[in-house]
Amino acid sequence: MADVQPIVKVEGLNAWFGDVHAVKGITIDFLPNTVTALIGPSGCGKSTFIRCLNRLHEEIEGASASGRVVVENNDIYGAGVDPVRIRRKIGMVFQKANPFPGLSIFENVAAGLKLAGIRRRSLLQDVVRRSLEGAALWDEVKDKLHQPGTSLSGGQQQRLCIARALAVEPPVILMDEPTSALDPISTAKIEELMLSLKRRTTVIIVTHNLQQAARISERTAFFLLGEMVEFGDTTQVFTVPKQKKTEQYITGRFG
Amino acid sequence: MPDVNTDLGHLKELAQNKFRSFGKEIHKPDRNFLWFLRIVASAVIACLLSVGLFLLLKAWPALYHTGLRFLYTNTWDPVGDVYGALPVVFGTLLSSFLALILSVPLSLGIALFVSELAPRRLARFVSFTVEMLAAIPSVVYGLWGIFVLAPWLRTVVEPFLGTYFGFLPFFQGPPYGVGMLAASLILAVMITPTISSIAREIFRAVPSNYREAALALGATRWEMIRLSVLSASWSGVLGAVVLGLGRALGETMAVTMVIGNRADISLSLFSPGQSMASVIANEYVEATSDIHLAALAEVGLLLFAVTFLVNSGARLIVLRLKTKGGGR
């Protein structure tokens, strides 16, 4: 593992909501083709942190961020970097499934490609199929690609959102509690999917579900009050945590 | 297993009984309140019916006198007792339609600016200012139309349009100032606050996670608006436009003051016209013959019917689009 270059390197990342310092000097890296879980109690800054990794955080009025985030050797907070281009390269899946209203399943998956200016029908059809297969949704929707995305069930909608993110082949996918609104069966499907996603991309996932973090991730970071308390191999963090706070959190003493 | 089933059946029965008695057993204050609501609700329907009935009674002599010719002849001559409502229907529809063409892009632009782009303070200021437009009385708009808008149209806008676009039938003839163009412009200003404030609320109601979906995919502002905001809200926007149209169709005072008051059908926007509302307002006081009064009541009945049809037609469209899954 030692000679693998990280795909995302974060150095001294700070984020604010107005005067509130929500993320405090985080330094961490993410290795390619792995799943990294970010855990911690509500309000610990982990969601804000991953929203800084595609510069979505700054879209909230009054929010700001500073530091270095290097994705594939480019500092996305560098001078003159266009956040729109950054977001085209980094996928994101949200807590609540949010397919575009009024767009069909097909159009939803093709949306990212269309934004990138790709219009060729045959290419779009190819990519839509591959992305839906990648999100383990193709068999369920192949006969109704032109129905609205919102007509699917909650779990299907979330997988549709994953397919939408996959379509542009992002090197990194951010997931902000992707299963917290889903039933156990849909959750299991998506966890299985995340394990298979590792082959094509790198997954950074925020989760409240500690078992989920233990099941799917190679490495785990524990956040508390805007700081990163501990970061290491998942087995180590969950079995022999180095910090007292981590141990208290994973054994359920707070949070 | 069968035990569980009978257990469930038993529970279901229990729940149904509970529910049934719950439905029947209305507490006394609730019953009074229910009656109060029933009376209020039927009062609205009674009002609507009585207005329609009143108009029908008053219009009866003219209905009898002119028959169906009222609807399709285009001479309105109270002196000769000839009443054809086509010019005033034309005036109402044309001025309202033009007002919509002018106002809808403007209103939606304002609403998008306020809900999606402007910083909060500026947004509040702009919304407040636009809403103040709705607070100006109609007659004040009329005065402004006569003293500011009409002279400006007569000396600047209409000569310009006539010179450069005079090949179109809409911009021919002498520039009067007052006329169809002035009426449409005033209407456009008057319905802008209605359309923009409703559209703004509809845009704001779009959940922010739709917006984030677009942004996270690398959408620009405009693409985000198109993908997430407009596609989620256009049936509501259509409703907002219909409310604006309803207001334009019935607007009386300001239109009467600037439309020019001549019951002619002319394609030229420079020429004076007359709308259903303005002909009633203009002639009701001076009408001497019974048949003239009845004809005006008939115009009123027609206006009532037209607004009713436009509103219910539009509502039907909105409903149909909604069930098709266009937006939610």
Is the CB of residue B84 less than 8 Å from the CB of residue B275?
no
Residue B79 confidence (pLDDT): 87
Do B168 and B305 lie in one domain? The reply is: yes
Q: Is the model's pLDDT at B30 over the cut of 90?
A: no
CB-CB neighbors (< 8 A) of A102 in chain B: 231-232, 234, 325-327
Does ipTM surpass 0.95 in this model?
Answer: no
Q: Among partner residues B215, B223, B234, which is closest to A56 by beta-carbon distance? A: B215
CB-CB neighbors (< 8 A) of A56 in chain B: 212, 215-216
Residue B2 confidence (pLDDT): 45
CB-CB neighbors (< 8 A) of B207 in chain A: 98
Residue B123 confidence (pLDDT): 94
CB-CB neighbors (< 8 A) of A86 in chain B: 218
Which CATH number does the domain housing residue B153 bear? Answer: 1.10.3720.10
Do B55 and B181 lie in one domain? The reply is: no
A99 at the B interface (CB within 8 A)?
yes
Mean of the pLDDT values across residues B93-100? Answer: 95
Do B310 and B257 lie in one domain? The reply is: yes
Is the CB of residue A92 less than 8 Å from the CB of residue A37?
no
Is the CB of residue B209 less than 8 Å from the CB of residue B171?
no
CB-CB neighbors (< 8 A) of B219 in chain A: 84, 87, 115
Which positions ≥6 away from B176 have C-beta within 8 Å? B154, B158, B260, B270, B271, B272
B121 at the A interface (CB within 8 A)?
no
> In angstroms, what CA-CA distances link A20 with A15, A51, B208?
9, 16, 21
Domains of chain B: total: 2
Do B32 and B173 lie in one domain? The reply is: no
Q: Which amino acid is at B288?
A: T
- Mark yes or no for CB contact B218/A164 under 8 Å: no
Residue B45 confidence (pLDDT): 94
A116 at the B interface (CB within 8 A)?
yes
Domain that holds residue B223: 67-323
Using CA atoms, how far apart are residues A161 and A237, in angstroms rounded to an integer? 30
Strand order in the sheet with A35-39: A90-93, A172-176, A202-206, A35-39, A219-224, A227-233
Is the CB of residue B156 less than 8 Å from the CB of residue B97?
no
Using CA atoms, how far apart are residues B18 and A147, in angstroms rounded to an integer? 41
pLDDT band at B17 (very low <50, low <70, confident <90, very high): low
pLDDT tens, residue by residue, B115-129? 999 988 999 999 999
Using CA atoms, how far apart are residues A244 and A224, in angstroms rounded to an integer? 12
Using CA atoms, how far apart are residues B172 and B170, in angstroms rounded to an integer? 6
Q: Among partner residues B212, B217, B231, which is closest to A112 by beta-carbon distance? A: B217
Do B46 and B181 lie in one domain? The reply is: no
pLDDT tens, residue by residue, A40-83? 998 899 999 999 999 999 999 889 999 999 998 889 998 889 99
Instruction: Give a three-class secondary structure readout of B201-229.
Output: HHHHHCCHHHHHHHHHCCCCHHHHHHHHH
Distance from CA of B19 to the nearest CA of A (A): 30
Using CA atoms, how far apart are residues B219 and B107, in angstroms rounded to an integer? 24
Do B138 and B22 lie in one domain? The reply is: no
Residue in chain A closest to B231 (alpha carbons) equals A102
Using CA atoms, how far apart are residues B61 and B83, in angstroms rounded to an integer? 12
CB-CB neighbors (< 8 A) of B227 in chain A: 100, 103, 111
Q: What is the mean pLDDT of chain B?
A: 88
Asked whether residue B328 is domain-assigned, the answer is no
- Mark yes or no for CB contact A101/B327 under 8 Å: yes
Q: What is the DSSP string of B37-90?
A: HHHHHHHHHHHHHHHHHHHHHHHHHHHHHHTTHHHH---EETTTTEE--HHHHH
> In angstroms, what CA-CA distances link A11 with A8, A17, A51, A64?
10, 20, 15, 16
Interface test with A, best of B217, B229, B234 (most A CBs within 10 A): B217
Mean of the pLDDT values across residues B125-138? Answer: 93
Q: Which amino acid is at B198?
A: I
Do B289 and B275 lie in one domain? The reply is: yes
Residue in chain B closest to A112 (alpha carbons) equals B217
Q: Which of B46, B61, B76 is the last residue of a domain?
A: B61
B324 at the A interface (CB within 8 A)?
no
Q: Among partner residues A115, A150, A161, which is closest to B218 by beta-carbon distance? A: A115
Do B48 and B105 lie in one domain? The reply is: no
B328 at the A interface (CB within 8 A)?
yes
Do B242 and B93 lie in one domain? The reply is: yes
Write down the residue that tokens 């097909």 correspond to: A106
> In angstroms, what CA-CA distances link B156 with B152, B163, B169?
6, 11, 19
Q: What is the DSSP string of B80-131?
A: TTEE--HHHHHHHHHHHHHHHHHHHHHHHHHHHIIIIIS-HHHHHHHHHHHH
Is the CB of residue A191 less than 8 Å from the CB of residue A216?
yes
Distance from CA of B204 to the nearest CA of A (A): 15
Residue A203 confidence (pLDDT): 95
Neighbours of A34 (CB within 10 A): 17
Q: Is the model's pLDDT at A172 over the cut of 90?
A: yes
Give the rounded percent of residues in chain B with a pLDDT score beyond 70. Answer: 90
pLDDT tens, residue by residue, B157-166? 999 999 999 8
- Mark yes or no for CB contact A94/B212 under 8 Å: yes
Is the CB of residue A8 less than 8 Å from the CB of residue A36?
no
Using CA atoms, how far apart are residues A224 and A229, in angstroms rounded to an integer? 6
A178 at the B interface (CB within 8 A)?
no
pLDDT band at A93 (very low <50, low <70, confident <90, very high): very high
- Mark yes or no for CB contact A102/B213 under 8 Å: no
Do B197 and B48 lie in one domain? The reply is: no
Alpha helices of chain A — where are they, by DSSP H?
Answer: 46-52, 83-89, 105-115, 121-134, 138-141, 154-166, 184-197, 210-216, 234-239, 244-250
Q: Which of B12, B38, B61 is the last residue of a domain?
A: B61
Do B229 and B196 lie in one domain? The reply is: yes
A151 at the B interface (CB within 8 A)?
yes
Asked whether residue B79 is domain-assigned, the answer is yes
Pick the CATH number of A8-250 from 3.30.420.250, 3.40.50.300, 3.30.479.10, 3.40.50.1970: 3.40.50.300
Using CA atoms, how far apart are residues B260 and A37, in angstroms rounded to an integer? 73
Read off φ and ψ for residue A61, nearest 5 degrees: -65, 130
Mean of the pLDDT values across residues B27-41? Answer: 89
Q: Is the model's pLDDT at A98 over the cut of 90?
A: yes
Do B13 and B159 lie in one domain? The reply is: no
Q: Is the model's pLDDT at A238 over the cut of 70?
A: yes
For chain A, give the longest Cα–Cα distance. 56
With b for 16 or more beta-carbon neighbours within 10 A and e for fewer, the B3-15 pattern comes to eeeeeeeeeeeee
